[in-house]
Amino acid sequence: MAVIQIERKPLSFAERTYLPQIASGLKTTLKHLFAPTITMEYPEQRPAVPAGYRGVPTLVMDPHGREKCVSCQLCEFVCPPKAIRITPGSVPADQPDRAHVEKAPETFDIDMLRCIYCGLCQEVCPEEAIVLQNLYSTVGYTRGEMVNDKKRLYELGGTLPDQHFKWDKKKAAEEAGNDRH
């Protein structure tokens, strides 16, 4: 087997002292030293959230402060990582404005460590009770803090305007039906 030797050209004086490489590095350093800063001071400054961003799933109430969730459990069934856990409960009889609602969630938990932010829960919800917020920085010191319970989900979601006024229409229809008889 033959060994091939490659002839290398001899290094010049500048190349032997590494001065061109040092000058190139200093040039890059000085360019960045005097350039305007592009660093954001997070969390005071936050980047713009792009349109269509799917953030943290939360529960919302209607404008009258009523729970929109009727515990149909579709979001729990469609969730790929099984991050949603719902325990259905009954609606108290002392709420006449919710007489047409059969169930309400007794407990509603979303494990944010398991959630993959896919948005399927929002898409499948017939009552529009789950909304994906533009939050992207959820933190916790323990695993338990990363499980959002019903109270925390309503704190994050708040109240959104209802586009359908479904309960108000049903209530008005029931009153109109009672007046005819």
- Helix residue spans in 42-165 (DSSP H): 74-78, 120-124, 150-157
Q: What is the pLDDT of residues 52-106, one digit of tens each?
A: 888 899 999 988 888 889 899 999 999 999 999 999 998 877 776 666 778 889 9
CB-based contact 102:70 (threshold 8 Å): yes
Q: Cα torsion for 13, 14, 16, 21, to the nearest 10°?
A: 180
Q: What is the pLDDT of residues 124-177, one digit of tens each?
A: 999 889 999 988 778 899 999 999 999 999 999 988 776 666 656 555 555 666
On the question of a cis peptide bond just before residue 92, with omega within 30 degrees of 0, the verdict is no
Domain range 60-162, CATH architecture: 2-Layer Sandwich (3.30)
Q: What is the pLDDT of residues 25-50, one digit of tens each?
A: 999 999 989 888 788 888 888 888 88
Rounded Cα distance between 84 and 46, Å, is 29
CB-based contact 89:69 (threshold 8 Å): no
Domain ranges within the chain, ordered by starting residue: 60-162
For residue 167, the 8-state DSSP code is H
